[in-house]
A and B are shown apart, each in its own frame.
Chain A
């Protein structure tokens, strides 16, 4: 039974991991936490929905949705965040919130009362993998996220762009000194964050009904995974996400079903109170 729960938890966990990873990427690159990330994921899902509805094959729609949200992320950073980079943290956080809010309003305006579902490009079903049941959904999501992770890993390690990213992550000033266009980099990272958010959104929208308020759910779980894994840590984001997904299933079965909902909230609160660094976090919180 435990094995079954763990396997089920991994699928959700991979989704959380994707969200947390994309948020961490943006945070590491620009030290801004994107409070509108969840709404960008929702926007990506709606974009995918529209494109599929327009007749595009799923893969094309998926890629295009990612592209659109890449552009959106880039534009937000370039025109809405860069001008206020020197403003107090509060203004930056609120700006991200505001963008998400506007996106949510636009989505509600267009689809508010409709129940929308992104059609799966594969048949629904399940199969046995040894002693455990694995749903097609779980398989597809896990595979998709793994593919994205492998692509990102290859990008990081084996390409010039990846070297640039690592350099900037290490030292922004140093990177600027060697001629890397750091402002452009910031924009591109937000673009990447947007694209990955869209990926998460599309995958999620295949398995749950798509509503304008989905973003809130995504945001909170992304934060929970980041907190658990340790803020700013990329492998931590993945570990935190998977661990969160598995914990939800395991606690939900063995302790009480309430935990499938509230594990994320409790994790966020308790980890920050007890061990703010999380699992792989790098620095302790600045204490006063």
Chain B
């Protein structure tokens, strides 16, 4: 990549900077939506690591999301911890779940077998949220205390900055991971597992690493959910939510960091264009997903990449 192009990639830093004044211009509802977009960025990024980079059909993203959200929520509601302290534990809980779901993949379970297995895992988690009433409030859900950052209550505008910081950190961290031998190892495993091993890549270890990172990132997003929504319900982490996450990464571009951001932005902000009767979003997203699969299978990021190589995903570090 030429020096000019490399300098160009540094321009991506301008994006978060440009977003800083945004809360000043939004009404409360729009502010909520903006926070929602920022929350979905790490959800998509984590999902993309497993589906897009590792190429494994793990349908467990919603499980990591829910586990992170409930970890954060339970620590807040039952242990009285302020929100900001629960963020890391939520990530670690998601990470643990990630490692757990990596086990079948390590044993060679692939394709749709892995898909239905991880789906069953997600349902099992959802069932446990309902059953563990004392901890989770059961099917009625769990009402959470106000999110606090170092004792400072977070309204939606302040959440924007906190979420922006978290999203930026996670994007950068994932980028560092992908633009390294780790990212290449993931893509190698996806492309040709046998050849990957022939390069000296211990595929099992890297599968676990990929899942662990994915679970961590999405677990942190779960903590963001707890802060933003303020109420946890098992039904929020069901198959519908999983399909929404699929829609985000497919519309954005599977395996693409840029795609994660685009997909989160488009699919979270778009519904606000029309009245949100219950079900209309699902119908619209279902149709959108169908159209994307038929006509733009590599997502919006692929359009941008075709337009200018600076938008191409990279898995190496130069400069």
The CA-CA distance from A286 to B110 in the complex, in Å, is 8
Contacts of B133 in A (CB 8 A): none
Contacts of B116 in A (CB 8 A): 33, 223, 227, 268, 272
The CA-CA distance from A103 to B279 in the complex, in Å, is 9
The CA-CA distance from A89 to B57 in the complex, in Å, is 9
Instruction: State how many angstroms separate the Cβ of A283 from the closest Cβ of chain B.
Output: 12
Contacts of B108 in A (CB 8 A): 285-288
Instruction: State how many angstroms separate the Cβ of B60 from the closest Cβ of chain A.
Output: 11
Scan residues 83-111 of chain B and give those whose CB is less than 8 A from a CB of chain A. Answer: 103-104, 107-111
Q: Is the CB of A108 within 8 A of B111?
A: no
Contacts of B246 in A (CB 8 A): 94, 97-98
Identify whether the interface residues of B are mostly helix, strand, loop, or mixed. helix
The CA-CA distance from A224 to B121 in the complex, in Å, is 12
Whether, in the assembled complex, B80 has its beta carbon less than 8 Å from a beta carbon of chain A, the answer is no
Q: Is the CB of A108 within 8 A of B278?
A: yes
Q: Is the CB of B109 within 8 A of A258?
A: no
Q: Is the CB of A106 within 8 A of B254?
A: no
Q: Is the CB of A113 within 8 A of B123?
A: no
- Chain B interface size band reads 35 or more
Number of A-B residue pairs, CB cutoff 8 Å, is: 155
The CA-CA distance from A269 to B59 in the complex, in Å, is 13
Whether, in the assembled complex, B5 has its beta carbon less than 8 Å from a beta carbon of chain A, the answer is no
Selected interface stretch from A129-137, A155-163, A182-190, A259-267: A259-267
Contacts of A213 in B (CB 8 A): 235, 238-240
The CA-CA distance from A227 to B114 in the complex, in Å, is 12
Q: Is the CB of A265 within 8 A of B124?
A: yes
The CA-CA distance from A35 to B59 in the complex, in Å, is 12
Whether, in the assembled complex, A101 has its beta carbon less than 8 Å from a beta carbon of chain B, the answer is yes
Q: Is the CB of A112 within 8 A of B57?
A: no
Q: Is the CB of B284 within 8 A of A105?
A: yes
Q: Is the CB of A101 within 8 A of B243?
A: yes
Scan residues 173-227 of chain A and give those whose CB is less than 8 A from a CB of chain B. Answer: 212-213, 215-216, 219-220, 223-224, 227
Q: Is the CB of B124 within 8 A of A94?
A: no
Query: In the complex, which residue of chain B has the Cβ closest to the Cβ of A83?
Result: B294
Contacts of B124 in A (CB 8 A): 262, 265-266, 269
Determine which of A98, A258, A268, A288 lies in contact with B293 in the assembled complex, contact meaning CB atoms within 8 Å. A98
Q: Is the CB of A95 within 8 A of B279?
A: no
Determine which of A98, A212, A227 lies in contact with B243 in the assembled complex, contact meaning CB atoms within 8 Å. A98
Q: Mark B262-303, 1 if CB is under 8 A from A, else 0.
A: 000000000000000111111111110110011001000000
Whether, in the assembled complex, A63 has its beta carbon less than 8 Å from a beta carbon of chain B, the answer is no
Q: Which residues of A contact B (CB under 8 A)?
A: 33, 35, 80, 83-84, 87, 89-91, 93-95, 97-110, 112-113, 212-213, 215-216, 219-220, 223-224, 227, 231, 258, 261-262, 264-266, 268-269, 272-273, 276, 285-288
Q: Which residues of B contact A (CB under 8 A)?
A: 51, 57, 103-104, 107-113, 115-117, 119-121, 123-124, 127, 131, 193-194, 203, 235, 238-240, 243, 246-247, 250, 254, 277-287, 289-290, 293-294, 297
